[in-house]
Structure 1
């Protein structure tokens, strides 16, 4: 089978155009791979859980003012463990407890300053 003379440059142009389109799409167009999309979805879910449960944690903490004073004495690295041990995030899935506890402790300490 004999192809017309203009077929070869047209095919190379199509291949080049596809490559350029992918480079532009992934660099500036906001395209992502499936794995990146899954990571973004997980990060968004975690962020939503933290935003939803932090006020509940703070409300539980406010019911125990003596514990809040002890929380402020803890180092910033130990505050999330303190919140977990106090039971203020007991209603949160174990997967998200540390993040919610960290956010809760930060909200409490900043609110008291």
Structure 2
């Protein structure tokens, strides 16, 4: 069986075009793999849960009878140690959890607006 003369260049052109479209799609077109999409979705969900928990953290701080002492500790802590100090207050712990959340501690510190930090 004989093939027309244009078959070989046509197949090479189609293959080259498919490769070019794939490269452009994944680099500039916003295409992602399934694993990368799941990672992005998980990160987004974690961020949204943290943002939803900030009012709970602020309410816990407002209701704490030792609020003044704990705020003084937070203000006296260095910028580097504030997250750990916030985690020690117990305000950055999700209800039903035993351990404080680092992301929630950062968000709650921002919500408390301690001297602009």
1:47 aligned counterpart, secondary structure = helix
Shift in Å at residue 99 of structure 1?
Answer: 0.6
Instruction: Report 1 or 2 for greater relative contact order, CA contacts < 8 Å, sequence distance ≥ 6.
Output: 1
Size of the alignment, in residue pairs? 112
The runs of 4+ residues in structure 1 deviating greater than 6 Å are none
Contact persistence 2:92–2:105 (CA under 8 A): yes
RMSD: 2.2
Contact persistence 1:57–1:88 (CA under 8 A): yes
Name the structure with the higher helix share.
Answer: 1
Q: Mind listing any 5+ residue stretches in structure 2 that lack a counterpart?
A: none
Give the TM-score normalised by structure 2: 0.81
Q: How does 1:1-113 map to 2 (within 5 A)?
A: 1-64=1-64, 65-66=67-68, 67-91=70-94, 97-108=101-112, 110=113
Shift in Å at residue 70 of structure 1?
Answer: 2.0
Alpha-carbon distance in 1 for matches of 2:34, 2:100: 24
2:91 aligned counterpart, secondary structure = coil
Q: Mind listing any 5+ residue stretches in structure 1 that lack a counterpart?
A: none
Q: Deviations over 1:56-82 (max 9, x none)?
A: 111111223312222111112222222
Give the TM-score normalised by structure 1: 0.83
Q: Deviations over 1:28-83 (max 9, x none)?
A: 11111223212211210111111011111111112233122221111122222222
Alpha-carbon distance in 2 for matches of 1:76, 1:53: 22
